[in-house]
Amino acid sequence: MSISGAVDAIEVLRRHPDVVDAILVDVEIHGRTASIAAVHVSDYCSPQLLREHVHESLDGTGEAIDGVWVAEVADRRAPGDWEADLRAIHEHAEEVIFVAPLGPLEVQLAALCAEVLGLSRVGATDDFMDLGGDSLSAARLLAALQDRWAVTIDVFELLEASTLRGLAQLVREREAGTERG
């Protein structure tokens, strides 16, 4: 990732209506440097939706940032007081980076979830509800799973699986059960 790409991403985040402030933090993860945007928001806004906002605003031109860390300003810290967030970012860096789907099933499920939710992409560790999923989109997703993979999953199982990777595991288990049954 280029420095200018990261700077562009921070500027895009700062223009988002729910963002009060944003900075770029470089974190070492598994021998590589990941660029994470630390964001203070005035109202709830999920990291995944902010990452999607950056991706769409920069026309999907590569990865401008590896992840987004969101801290609500409800605790009334002084503007620009990032000390507590910086400690938390370093402790939880792996949880906030975008994780690309692995394997054909995850890739296909990511495309399906993105289509159902009206997003340009969905990561393997993204949470369905945090991406804007609701009962209607859950019903559409579950119907599509039934049509494409002939697996029956209920809404409670979808919510429990939570992430795309969890959903892929559930589909694999159901497919294996169907083949045996």
User: What is the mean pLDDT of the segment spanning 13-19?
Assistant: 90
CATH number at residue 152: 1.10.1200.10
Express each pLDDT in 100-156 by its tens digit. 899 999 999 999 999 999 988 898 988 898 888 999 999 999 999 999 999 999 999
- 70 with 118, same domain? no
Looking at the structure, tell me whether residues 7 and 91 fall in a common domain: yes
Q: Same structural domain for residues 49 and 88? A: yes
Determine how many CB atoms are found less than 10 A away from the CB of residue 167.
25
Predicted TM-score (pTM) above 0.95: no
Domain that holds residue 127: 103-180
Same domain for 60 and 116, yes or no, is no
Sign of CA dihedral 23, 46, 36, 92: positive
Q: What is the pLDDT of residue 172?
A: 96
- Do 115 and 46 sit in the same domain of this protein? no
Q: What is the CATH number of the domain that holds 53?
A: 3.30.300.30
The tokens describing 161, both together, are: 């699986």
CA distance 38 to 11: 12
**pLDDT value of residue 1:** 45
CA pair distance 49, 29, nearest whole angstrom: 23
Identify the domain boundary among 30, 61, 96.
96
In terms of domains, do 21 and 74 share one? yes
Q: How many domains does the chain have?
A: 2
Run of H or E including 28? strand 19-29
- For residue 18 the two structure tokens come to 């729910």
Q: 84 and 142, same structural domain?
A: no
